């Protein structure tokens, strides 16, 4: 099934030709914020609020992992569920999926999406990343974000594929979800035991270091500063949308 969302077609920029990886990642984040502004609908505002929170938490967590840079961790965490923004813009009932995604394992969310919409946010996000010519390892990490074992199997079938960076991002995303769940009192995620060993091995972390990550929660001042940046971005996006309609 194909999707056409106003603004997406004009954002198909050859981002990779801008050179530096950090520049490509930064532009990718800016492009999706412009294509899907928080003012589009209430669900989109919630999506960006949650994504911005996760991205800030990822940047704070990255130094404790050392297998992923803070800016890469932040960008991946912001973009990994970008397919949800497309589905929010396309389907009026998709906001219900945000409630499910907050509590259910990622694979279960994908299954429900496939049943309702004939696609899922991982596939849609991967397609967007390829269209925007984001780095291939970032696009692959978006596609396989909940199933590192499937990514490894697919990579082994394609000897030319880049493994290391994609797998690090996938595993970091799974670790981030578990740390955030424990910080909020949610306990161990239902599918954590299935990929725990791979995450620990890939990121060179231990159960004890995860305990320290849980304890080292950013203070309210840092989170409020991030929220204020998000509010400013929302106001700028809203202003752009109004001008484009005049």
Share of the chain above pLDDT 90, in %: 43
Long-range contacts of 212-216 (CB under 8 A, 24+ apart): 212/64, 213/61, 213/64, 213/179, 214/179, 214/182, 214/183, 216/60, 216/64
pLDDT value at residue 6 = 42
Of residues 25, 34, 29, the one with CA closest to residue 138: 25
- The contacts of residue 215 (CB under 8 Å, 6+ apart) are none
pLDDT value at residue 90 = 92
| Mean pLDDT over the full length of the chain | 79
Measured CA to CA, the distance from residue 88 to residue 97 in angstroms comes to 9
90/32: higher pLDDT: 90
- The contacts of residue 15 (CB under 8 Å, 6+ apart) are 24, 27, 28, 31, 132, 133, 134
Measured CA to CA, the distance from residue 142 to residue 49 in angstroms comes to 19
Measured CA to CA, the distance from residue 65 to residue 171 in angstroms comes to 11
pLDDT value at residue 19 = 44
- Give residue-wise pLDDT tens across range 107-117: 999 999 999 99
């Amino acid at each position: 099934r194909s999707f056409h969302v106003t603004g997406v077609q004009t954002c198909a920029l050859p981002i990779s030709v801008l050179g530096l990886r950090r520049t490509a990642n930064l532009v990718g984040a800016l492009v999706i914020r412009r294509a899907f502004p928080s003012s589009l609908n209430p669900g989109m505002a919630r999506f960006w609020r949650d994504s911005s929170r996760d991205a800030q938490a990822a940047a704070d967590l990255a130094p404790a992992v050392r297998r992923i840079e803070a800016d890469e961790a932040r960008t991946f965490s912001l973009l990994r569920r970008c397919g949800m923004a497309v589905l929010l813009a396309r389907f009026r009932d998709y906001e219900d999926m945000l409630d499910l995604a907050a509590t259910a394992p990622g694979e279960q969310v994908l299954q429900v999406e496939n049943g309702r919409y004939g696609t899922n946010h991982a596939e849609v996000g991967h397609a967007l990343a390829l269209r925007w010519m984001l780095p291939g390892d970032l696009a692959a990490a978006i596609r396989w974000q909940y199933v590192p074992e499937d990514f490894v199997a697919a990579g082994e079938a394609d000897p030319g594929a880049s493994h290391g960076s994609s797998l690090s991002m996938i595993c970091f995303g799974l670790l981030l979800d578990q740390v955030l769940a424990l910080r909020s009192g949610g306990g161990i995620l239902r599918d954590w035991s299935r990929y725990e060993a791979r995450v620990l091995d890939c990121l060179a972390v231990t159960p004890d270091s995860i305990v320290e990550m849980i304890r080292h929660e950013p203070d309210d001042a840092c989170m409020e500063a991030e929220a204020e940046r998000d509010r400013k971005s929302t106001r700028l996006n809203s202003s752009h949308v109004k001008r484009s309609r005049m």
